[in-house]
Amino acid sequence: MRQPVDRTPVWMMRQAGRYLPEYRATRARAGDFLSLCKNTPLACEVTLQPLERYPLDAAILFSDILTIPDALGLGLYFETGEGPKFRRTIRSAADVDALPTLTADTDLDYVMRAVSTIRQELNGRVPLIGFSGSPWTLATYMVEGGSSRDFREAKRLMYSEPAVMHRLLDHLARSVTDYLNSQIRAGAQAVQIFDTWGGVLSTWAYDEFSLRYMKKIVNGLIREYGGRRVPVILFTKNGGQWLESIADSGADAVGLDWTTDIGNARARVGDRVALQGNMDPAMLFAPPARIRQEVADILRRYGSGPGHIFNLGHGITPDVDPAHAGAFIEAVVELSPEYHR
């Protein structure tokens, strides 16, 4: 990353997703979402679908951020319109101590099979990005038993019994490190850590309960594989206030949500890290001409030179028109070369 390029690279979080009719068709064949994640040929198929439509610069592994807690025995399931849920929750020291040690190669072998199959199918066309949820983000789901509005159970544990929360996060940091290293050995050429819920913490709690464990992971990752650098991207939604410390984490790139001005972000982090982002996914509901104008504005704010990966500031939403996603990517392809002369 931060290498000279002819144009700004572009990919989209959740690019293999429900907004694509071909994805919905494949998912219907698989049954539910989890069956699709666990079906190697079909997970490979949906990972490649957006690359057939758009000139994207990376494939992103089709999987879920909650595979680790599922493999740890919590029983992940999805209820329509309700988001992910777990059959078991983690709320005490005894619950944490009873968690098994993850061996990703065997416990999440379906993910590794998908990674190696996708790499073979890609055949060098574009790199493959693997990913995991962050320890704090995984912990919120494990403690709450699903999504939450106010994270009261996760915060109750964190504030009341910080040592127990730290033990859980430490267990998860080791699990995520093993999981991402397995993905790298299976063929992932870059990895991203998704901290969807770090932004619900206060500044000190973010440092202590989220960033600290992401740093541990970054330090434990295979950073060179097959003779090439394996870049690590760290994304904390609503982490714009903490960019300096995120940029000091050891990651190669920092993901920005749309609330942060990318020109201001670049000024704050300098050339320590690349920046990934950051168009509001809701912009894809606007007409293509408006989308193009927003792409132009973000390119202008970032300015000239390398170090920008164009992306949305969060995952693409299900009812976006695929033609609008196309207009977004086309605008990056057409408008960015002037910033790389």
CB of 108 to a copy of itself, least distance (A): 29
Residue 160 interacting with a copy of itself (CB under 8 A): yes
Provide the 3-class DSSP secondary structure of residue 138.
helix
Rounded to an integer, what distance in angstroms lies between the CA atom of residue 76 and that of residue 205? 27
Q: Is residue 156 among the annotated active site residues?
A: no
List the structure tokens of 272: 């320590």
Give the residue, chosen from 21, 287, 303, 305, that forms a contact with a copy of itself under the rule CB under 8 A.
Answer: 287
238 touching a copy of itself, by CB under 8 A: yes
In angstroms, how far is the first alpha carbon of the chain from the final one? 17
Given a contact cutoff of 8 angstroms between Cβ atoms, the answer to whether 70 and 143 are in contact is: no
User: Which residue out of 19, 23, 64, 179 is catalytically annotated?
Assistant: 64
Residue span 64-83 as binding mask against a copy of itself, x where in contact by CB under 8 A, dash where not: --------------------
Reading the block at residue 322, the tokens are 């695929």
Instruction: Give the residue among 3, 56, 17, 14 at the shortest CA–CA distance from 192.
Output: 14
Among 95-103, 156-164, 209-217, 321-329, the segment contacting a copy of itself (CB under 8 A): 156-164
Binds a copy of itself (CB under 8 A): choice among 155, 216, 266, 292:
155
Amino acid at 61: L
| Of residues 199 and 250, the one with the C-beta less far from a copy of itself | 199
Closest CB to a copy of itself among 54 and 206?
A: 206
Q: Determine the Cα–Cα distance for residues 152 and 137; give it in Å rounded to an integer.
A: 14
- In 3D space, the residue among 205, 178, 169, 173 whose CA is nearest the CA of residue 96 turns out to be 169
Cβ distance to a copy of itself smaller for residue 40 or 210: 210
DSSP state of 79: E
Spatial contact of 146 and 206, defined as CB atoms under 8 Å apart: no
| Active-site annotation holds for 141 | yes
Tell me if 268 contacts a copy of itself by CB under 8 A: no
Catalytic annotation present for 125: no
Residue 199: burial class (beta carbons within 10 Å; 0-12, 13-18, 19+)? middle
Provide the sign of the torsion angle of the four alpha carbons 280, 285, 289, 290, taken in this order: negative
261 binds a copy of itself (CB under 8 A): yes
- Of 240, 292, 307, 325, the one binding a copy of itself by CB under 8 A: 240
Choosing from 19, 141, 179, 302, the catalytic residue is: 141
Minimal CA–CA distance to 169: which of 128, 205, 223?
205
Task: Choose one: 16-24, 124-132, 164-172, 236-244; the region binding a copy of itself (CB under 8 A).
Answer: 236-244
Q: For residues 146 and 78, is the Cβ–Cβ distance under 8 A?
A: no
Known catalytic residue at 27:
yes
Per CB under 8 A, contacts with a copy of itself among 94-153 are: 150-152
Where in the sequence numbering do the catalytic residues fall?
Answer: 14, 18, 27, 64, 141
* Contact residues: a copy of itself, CB under 8 A: 150-152, 155-156, 159-160, 199-206, 238, 240-241, 258-261, 264, 280-283, 285-287, 290, 294, 297, 313, 317
